[in-house]
Amino acid sequence: MTAPSAHPHRYALIMAGGSGTRLWPMSRVTKPKQLLPLIGGKSMLQLSSERLEGLIASDKRLVCASCAYASDVLASISALAPHNFLGEPVGRDTLNAIGFAAAVLFERDPDAIFAVMTSDHVIEPHEAFCKAVDTGFALVEADPRRLVTFSVPPTFAATGYGYVERGAAIAGFDHAFRAKRFIEKPDLARATEFVANKSFGWNTGMFVFHARTVLDAIGWFMPQNAAGLARIGAAWGTRNEDAVITDVYPTLTKISVDFGLMEPASRDERLAICVVPMEVSWRDVGNWQSFGAVLAADAQGNRTVGAAVHLESNNVVVASDDPNHLIATIGVEGLVIVHTRDATLICPAAMAERVKDLAGRVPSGYQ
């Protein structure tokens, strides 16, 4: 892999717009999960930026998040220039976050190719990640019509993830394939089949696109959104930037990149969807149970951030942001316990997904 300076048209977008309600009570409206120092004292946003070291120059990394988090994001990533922060006045889902970046980059560099990264994954090892993303860039550099996605080997029959099946190998590239089909959140029986079939992988939600191709495709599939994004791109860096974004962005149809771009693109002969398998450990830190999986376990399977002591307890996940508060358990199993200065959560680990429902019910001062 060559140095970033050898690829002046390569950029990266980190999408950091999620609210992270499944990690309540630590993740709050004022400070969502991607900004919390949960992994070795670092936030997942910091880890996402550091993951691009040796791959994308620091001045070519963009972050898209809520305007409300601008100061926190810029403080979290010291190398991020203010003009590389894309502030959303309101969340309009992933298609528009990606379109926002494409519009800004195309105005800056008509030959821009950018990787789309998420801010809630733990990915190892770094070398394998970089190799796969480098291949993704090379695919688009060779043919700008290509839309590249990345898959990882499934480790269990997940019903909450999307799957991608790889088709024919692409000549001239190491470990790159045409994407044959996408399946969103299959039932357990189908997920079990996909795990056994080595041609399927989990769809990571990471991509490589040519900025012009993204804008063209949004124009074909979502023309009203494309018109708004064009206005934002034209205003970026001018004195009208904030006013145009505030006026236009909330009017964009809210839709994910999967439904707004990738699904119609799979039926459009003007585009070619490719998949690059990543041979990595990929963990989506979407709830407290999956967060526990990234922590080291003791002999009884207990995993802890903060101060905790257990007696005859097993498979307990503890997270506390108060170093002066000790959590102690006796004879419990399979629990999640999360403590903050003003709220405590206790639930069975198997019900961790329900934390999102609970967060919607707590009084506004605790959200």
Which of 346, 341, 342 has the alpha carbon at shortest distance from 329? 346
> Which single residue is written with the structure tokens 């044959």?
180
Q: 26 and 139 share a domain? A: yes
Alpha-carbon Rg for the chain in angstroms = 21
Per-residue pLDDT tens for 36-61? Answer: 988 888 999 999 999 999 999 999 99
Per-residue pLDDT tens for 94-108? Answer: 999 999 999 999 999
Among residues 252, 284, 316, the one where a domain terminates is 284
Q: 175 and 278 share a domain? A: yes
Q: 264 and 313 share a domain? A: no
| 276 close to 175: Cβ distance less than 8 angstroms | yes
Residue 351's SS3 state is helix
Report the amino acid identity of residue 354: R
Q: For 113-117, 168-172, 289-293, 324-328, which range has the lowest pLDDT when averaged over its residues?
A: 289-293
pLDDT value of position 1 = 67
Range of the domain at 348: 288-366
Report the amino acid identity of residue 334: G
Please tell me which of 70-79, 160-169, 214-223 the model is most confident about, judged by mean pLDDT: 214-223
| 208 close to 139: Cβ distance less than 8 angstroms | yes
Indicate whether 5 pLDDT > 80. no
pLDDT value of position 340 = 95
Report the amino acid identity of residue 358: L
Write phi, then psi, for 162 (nearest 5 degrees).
-90, 155
Q: 171 and 256 share a domain? A: yes
pLDDT value of position 30 = 87
Instruction: List the end-to-end C-alpha distance of the chain, in Å, as a whole number.
Output: 44
Q: 256 and 309 share a domain? A: no
Q: 217 and 309 share a domain? A: no
pLDDT value of position 10 = 98
Average pLDDT score over the chain = 94
* Structure-model confidence comparison of residues 294 and 254, the more confident one: 254
Indicate whether 3 pLDDT > 80. no
Pure H helices in the chain? 44-50, 70-76, 93-108, 126-142, 188-196, 211-221, 223-235, 241-248, 257, 263-265, 288-292, 355-359
* Structure-model confidence comparison of residues 117 and 6, the more confident one: 117
Please state, in angstroms and rounded to a whole number, the distance separating the CA atoms of residues 120 and 140.
25
Q: 279 and 293 share a domain? A: no
Mean pLDDT of 223-243: 97
Among residues 284, 310, 337, the one where a domain terminates is 284
Total domains present in the chain? 2
Mean pLDDT of 14-22: 88
Indicate whether 214 pLDDT > 70. yes
Q: 206 and 265 share a domain? A: yes
Q: What's 128's DSSP letter? A: H
pLDDT value of position 228 = 98
Which residues is 283 bridged to in the sheet? 122
pLDDT value of position 172 = 95
Structure tokens at 3: 């140095």
Report residue 34's pLDDT band, with 50, 70 and 90 as the boundaries: very high
Q: What is the CATH number of the domain that holds 118?
A: 3.90.550.10
Indicate whether 213 pLDDT > 80. yes
Q: 85 and 177 share a domain? A: yes
Please state, in angstroms and rounded to a whole number, the distance separating the CA atoms of residues 255 and 143.
26
Q: 341 and 277 share a domain? A: no
Q: 272 and 306 share a domain? A: no
Q: 232 and 330 share a domain? A: no
Please state, in angstroms and rounded to a whole number, the distance separating the CA atoms of residues 179 and 59.
32
Per-residue pLDDT tens for 179-200? Answer: 999 998 899 999 999 999 989 9
Among residues 221, 252, 284, the one where a domain terminates is 284
pLDDT value of position 299 = 97
Please state, in angstroms and rounded to a whole number, the distance separating the CA atoms of residues 33 and 10.
28
